[in-house]
Chains A and B, each alone.
Chain A
Amino acid sequence: MIFERLNQFRNNIAFIEKNNTCNYSDIIEYGIKFADKFYTKNILCLIVTGNNAATIISYLSAVEHNIPALLVNKPKKNTELLSIINNYKPKYIFLSTQDSFDENIKNITSKQIYSIFDYSLIETIYDTDYDIHHDLSILLTTSGSTGTNKYVRLSKKNILSNAQSIIQYLNISENDRVITTLPFSYSYGLSIINTHILSGASIMLSEYSIIQREFWQLLSATNATTFGGVPYTYEMMQRLKFERMNIPNISYITQAGGRLNTNLTQYFLEECSKKNIQFFKMYGQTEATARISYLEPKYLYEKTDSIGKAIPNGELFVVDENNNYLSSNETGELIYKGSNVCMGYAESCYDLHTGDENNGILHTGDIGYYDKDGFFYITGRKKRFLKVFGNRINLDELENKLNINGCLCACSGVDDKIKIYVCSEDMKNKAALLLKDTLDIHPSGYSIEIIKEIPRNSTGKIQYSLLG
Chain B
Amino acid sequence: MTNLEKYSSTYKKVFELDDSIDVTTLTFQGIPLWDSIGHMNLIASLEEAFNVQFEIDDIIDLSSYEKGKEILTKLGVDFN
- B16, B37, B56: the one contacting A445 at CB < 8 Å is B37
Residues of the A chain whose Cβ atoms lie less than 8 Å from the Cβ of B55: 241
Q: Given A241-B55, A442-B38, A444-B38, A216–B60 Cβ distance below 8 Å?
A: yes
Query: Residue A82 at the B interface, CB < 8 A?
Result: no
Query: Residue A239 at the B interface, CB < 8 A?
Result: yes
- B16, B33, B38, B60: the one contacting A240 at CB < 8 Å is B60
Residues of the A chain whose Cβ atoms lie less than 8 Å from the Cβ of B33: 442-443
Query: Residue A452 at the B interface, CB < 8 A?
Result: no
Residues of the A chain whose Cβ atoms lie less than 8 Å from the Cβ of B56: 240-241, 244-245
Interface residue tally for chain B (C-beta within 8 Å): 18
> Are A444 and B61 neighbours in the complex by a CB distance under 8 Å?
no
Residues of the B chain whose Cβ atoms lie less than 8 Å from the Cβ of A244: 56
- A212, A236, A241, A245: the one contacting B40 at CB < 8 Å is A236
* Minimum CB distance partner of B44 in chain A: A239
Q: Given A240-B60, A241-B55, A244-B56, A211–B39 Cβ distance below 8 Å?
A: yes
> Are A442 and B37 neighbours in the complex by a CB distance under 8 Å?
yes
Q: Give chain A's interface residue range (CB within 8 Å of chain B).
A: 20 to 34
* Minimum CB distance partner of A239 in chain B: B40
Query: Residue A18 at the B interface, CB < 8 A?
Result: no
Q: Is the interface of B mostly helix, strand, loop or mixed?
A: helix
How far in angstroms is the closest Cβ of chain B from A23?
Answer: 31
How far in angstroms is the closest Cβ of chain A from B3?
Answer: 24
Query: Residue B77 at the A interface, CB < 8 A?
Result: no
Binary B-proximity of A213-240 (CB < 8 A = 1, otherwise 0): 1001000000000000000100110011
> Are A443 and B16 neighbours in the complex by a CB distance under 8 Å?
yes
* Minimum CB distance partner of B36 in chain A: A209
Query: Residue B76 at the A interface, CB < 8 A?
Result: no
Query: Residue A76 at the B interface, CB < 8 A?
Result: yes
> Are B41 and A213 neighbours in the complex by a CB distance under 8 Å?
no
A389–B40 CA distance with the chains assembled, in angstroms? 13
How far in angstroms is the closest Cβ of chain B from A436?
Answer: 9
Name B32-57 residues within 8 Å CB distance of A.
32-33, 35-41, 43, 55-56
Query: Residue B71 at the A interface, CB < 8 A?
Result: no
Residues of the B chain whose Cβ atoms lie less than 8 Å from the Cβ of A236: 36, 40
> Are B36 and A239 neighbours in the complex by a CB distance under 8 Å?
no
> Are A211 and B60 neighbours in the complex by a CB distance under 8 Å?
yes
A389–B59 CA distance with the chains assembled, in angstroms? 20
Q: Given A442-B38, A444-B38, A213–B60 Cβ distance below 8 Å?
A: yes
Query: Residue A378 at the B interface, CB < 8 A?
Result: no
How far in angstroms is the closest Cβ of chain A from B10?
Answer: 14
> Are B59 and A239 neighbours in the complex by a CB distance under 8 Å?
yes
A158–B60 CA distance with the chains assembled, in angstroms? 39
Name B8-49 residues within 8 Å CB distance of A.
16, 28, 32-33, 35-41, 43
Query: Residue B64 at the A interface, CB < 8 A?
Result: no
How far in angstroms is the closest Cβ of chain A from B41?
Answer: 5
Q: Which interface residue of B28, B37, B38, B40 has the most chain A CB atoms within 10 A?
A: B37
How far in angstroms is the closest Cβ of chain B from A397?
Answer: 22
Query: Residue A335 at the B interface, CB < 8 A?
Result: no
Query: Residue A210 at the B interface, CB < 8 A?
Result: yes
* Minimum CB distance partner of B15 in chain A: A443
Residues of the B chain whose Cβ atoms lie less than 8 Å from the Cβ of A240: 56, 59-60
Residues of the A chain whose Cβ atoms lie less than 8 Å from the Cβ of B37: 232, 389, 442, 444-445
A245–B41 CA distance with the chains assembled, in angstroms? 22
Q: A212-B60, A213-B61, A239-B43 are in contact. List 19 more A-B contacts (CB 8 A).
A: A209-B36, A209-B39, A210-B36, A211-B40, A211-B60, A212-B28, A213-B60, A239-B40, A239-B59, A240-B59, A241-B55, A241-B56, A389-B37, A442-B35, A442-B37, A443-B16, A443-B33, A444-B37, A444-B38
B residues neighboring A (CB under 8 Å): 16, 28, 32-33, 35-41, 43, 55-56, 59-61, 63
- For this complex, 6 residue pairs linking A to B, each with C-beta atoms less than 8 Å apart, are A239-B40, A240-B56, A240-B60, A244-B56, A245-B56, A442-B38
A residues neighboring B (CB under 8 Å): 76, 209-213, 216, 232, 235-236, 239-241, 244-245, 389, 442-445
6 shortest interchain CB distances as A-B pairs: A209-B36, A442-B37, A213-B60, A240-B56, A211-B36, A211-B39
